[in-house]
Structure 1
Amino acid sequence: MSHLPNEELISAAAGELGQAGASELGVIASLRAQGHEPEAVRAAIEQCELRSKAGIAWKPGGQTRQHWLLTRDGLEQASHPLVAQFHANLIVQSGVNHVIDLTAGLGSDSAAFIEAGLRVTALERHPDTAAFLAHNVPEATVLTRDCTEVDFAHYLAAQYTIFIDPARRVGSRTADGARALPERDPERWSPSLSFVTALADRFQIYMKAAPAFAPPRGWASFMISVDGTLIEMFTTNAMTGVHAVMIDSRTEQANVISTSPNPTKSVANDICIGGFLYELDPAITRAGLSQQVAGELGVSPVGEKGIWLFGTSSVPFAHARQYEVHDHFPIKDVKSRVAHLPGIAIKTKDSRRGLKELRKASGKRDHNDWAIVVLGSGASELAVLVQREP
Structure 2
Amino acid sequence: MEQAEADLLMSPRGAAALEAEAALPGTPDPFARSAALRRAGFSAGETAALLTQADLRRRAAGRLGPDAARLLLTRAGLEQATRREVAAEHAARVRAAGFDDVVDLGCGIGGDALAFAAAGLAVRAVERDPVTAALARHNLAPFPGARVEVGEAETTEAADGAAVWLDPARRTAGHSDTRRLRPDDWSPSLDFVAGLLSERAAGVKLAPGLDHELIPPGVEAQWVSSGREVAELVLWSGGLARPGTGRAALVLGRAGAAELTGPGPAVDVPPGPLGGVVAEPDGAVIRSGLLGDLARATGSHPVGPGIAYLTGDAIEASPFLDRFAVEAVLPLDPRLIARELRARGIGRLEVKKRGVDLEPAAFRRRLGLKGDGEAVLIATRTIKRRVALLCRRLR
* Secondary structure, counterpart of 1:65 in structure 2: helix
Q: 2: CA distance between counterparts of 1:197 and 1:12?
A: 46
In structure 2, the residue matched to 1:178 is none
In structure 1, the residue matched to 2:392 is 387
Runs of at least 5 residues in structure 1 that lack an aligned partner in the other structure: 172-180
Kindly provide the amino acid, as one letter, of the partner of residue 18 in structure 2.
I
Q: Deviations over 1:246-266 (max 9, x none)?
A: 112x45x322111279x9997
* Secondary structure, counterpart of 2:32 in structure 1: helix
1:166-177 to 2 correspondences below 5 Å: 166-170=168-172
Kindly provide the amino acid, as one letter, of the partner of residue 183 in structure 2.
P
Q: 2: CA distance between counterparts of 1:27 and 1:57?
A: 25
Q: Deviations over 1:92-116 (max 9, x none)?
A: 2332322111110000001111112
Return the match for 1:80 from 83, 88, 98: 83
1:145-184 to 2 correspondences below 5 Å: 145-150=151-156, 152=157, 155-157=158-160, 159-170=161-172, 184=181
In structure 2, the residue matched to 1:206 is 203
In structure 1, the residue matched to 2:148 is 142
Retained in 2: the 8 A contact 1:290–1:306? no
Retained in 2: the 8 A contact 1:279–1:309? yes
Q: Which moved more, 1:290-299 or 1:79-88?
A: 290-299
Retained in 2: the 8 A contact 1:264–1:292? yes
Cα 1:243–1:366 shift into 2, 3 Å: farther
Q: Deviations over 1:305-337 (max 9, x none)?
A: 453222213522233222111111332454554
Retained in 2: the 8 A contact 1:50–1:71? yes
Retained in 2: the 8 A contact 1:105–1:129? yes
In structure 1, the residue matched to 2:381 is 376
Amino-acid identity (%): 27
* Secondary structure, counterpart of 2:169 in structure 1: coil
Alpha-carbon shift at residue 222 of structure 1 (Å): 0.9
Cα 1:302–1:377 shift into 2, 3 Å: closer
Return the match for 1:99 from 90, 97, 102: 102
Retained in 2: the 8 A contact 1:32–1:41? yes
* Secondary structure, counterpart of 2:187 in structure 1: coil
Q: 1: CA distance between counterparts of 2:179 and 2:16?
A: 40
Q: Deviations over 1:344-377 (max 9, x none)?
A: 4332223344547754775558998323212227
Retained in 2: the 8 A contact 1:266–1:298? no
Cα 1:103–1:10 shift into 2, 3 Å: same
* Secondary structure, counterpart of 1:200 in structure 2: helix
Q: 1: CA distance between counterparts of 2:330 and 2:20?
A: 61
Q: 2: CA distance between counterparts of 1:99 and 1:336?
A: 61
Alpha-carbon shift at residue 88 of structure 1 (Å): 1.4
In structure 1, the residue matched to 2:290 is 289
Q: Deviations over 1:167-211 (max 9, x none)?
A: 22347xxxxxxxxx8961113311111112223343112111111
In structure 1, the residue matched to 2:49 is 43
* Secondary structure, counterpart of 1:64 in structure 2: helix
Runs of at least 5 residues in structure 2 that lack an aligned partner in the other structure: none
Q: Does 1:322 align with 2:319?
A: no
Q: 1: CA distance between counterparts of 2:197 and 2:31?
A: 52
1:238-249 to 2 correspondences below 5 Å: 238=238, 239=241, 240-248=245-253
Retained in 1: the 8 A contact 2:326–2:392? yes
In structure 1, the residue matched to 2:17 is 9
Kindly provide the amino acid, as one letter, of the partner of residue 199 in structure 2.
R
Q: 2: CA distance between counterparts of 1:247 and 1:68?
A: 24
Cα 1:47–1:237 shift into 2, 3 Å: same
Q: Does 1:27 align with 2:33?
A: yes
Q: 1: CA distance between counterparts of 2:103 and 2:27?
A: 47
* Secondary structure, counterpart of 2:199 in structure 1: coil
Retained in 1: the 8 A contact 2:203–2:235? yes
Retained in 1: the 8 A contact 2:63–2:84? no
Alpha-carbon shift at residue 46 of structure 1 (Å): 1.7
How many equivalent residue pairs? 368
In structure 2, the residue matched to 1:219 is 219
Q: Deviations over 1:210-242 (max 9, x none)?
A: 112122112111111111011111111232421
Return the match for 1:194 from 179, 183, 191: 191
Q: Structure 2 length as normaliser, TM-score? A: 0.82
Cα 1:194–1:25 shift into 2, 3 Å: same
Q: 2: CA distance between counterparts of 1:56 and 1:200?
A: 31
Alpha-carbon shift at residue 303 of structure 1 (Å): 2.9
Q: Which moved more, 1:232-241 or 1:126-135?
A: 232-241
Kindly provide the amino acid, as one letter, of the partner of residue 299 in structure 1.
S
Kindly provide the amino acid, as one letter, of the partner of residue 258 in structure 2.
N
Alpha-carbon shift at residue 73 of structure 1 (Å): 1.0
In structure 2, the residue matched to 1:271 is 274
Q: 2: CA distance between counterparts of 1:111 and 1:236?
A: 20
Q: 2: CA distance between counterparts of 1:267 and 1:369?
A: 32
* Secondary structure, counterpart of 1:95 in structure 2: coil
Kindly provide the amino acid, as one letter, of the partner of residue 287 in structure 1.
S
Alpha-carbon shift at residue 166 of structure 1 (Å): 1.0
Cα 1:302–1:380 shift into 2, 3 Å: same
